[in-house]
Amino acid sequence: MAKTVKDLEKALAVKDARIAELEAEIKKLTEAKKAVRVARVESMEALGSRLLKENASKEDIEKAFLEAYARKGNTNVDFIVKKRIPIYMNIAMKRVPKKTPQAVVEEAK
């Protein structure tokens, strides 16, 4: 069962084609993985801090948290509004830098 050069070249061409297909699939999966990284939901702590910086209204805060939790699959509105939002907004309030006395005097001028 001796293989001829043509048989070996044909087998090599088939393997090269398969390698090209696999490389294309790897590239496609890598791009999809990058897209998933971009689509991730920001952390609830970061969301609370961002909303606090934007001086969002209570309704806007509730809407933003409900949407974020919905993307994660949690739709228990009562639990989110009564328990989770106050916790994350409290964390955000603690992270706000305190004004030094010098900054208060500068602001008053």
35 and 78 co-located in one domain: no
51 and 27 co-located in one domain: no
Counted domains in the chain: 2
19 and 63 co-located in one domain: no
67 and 103 co-located in one domain: yes
59 and 33 co-located in one domain: no
13 and 57 co-located in one domain: no
DSSP letters along 44-61, please?
HHHHHHHHHHTT--HHHH
Q: What string of pLDDT tens digits covers the 109 residues of the chain?
A: 567 888 888 989 999 999 999 999 988 888 877 766 555 667 899 999 999 989 899 999 999 999 988 888 888 999 999 999 999 999 998 887 776 777 667 776 6
| Structural domain for 56, as ranges | 44-108
The pair of three-digit structure tokens given for residue 21, joined into one six-digit string: 């297909």
pTM as predicted: 0.55
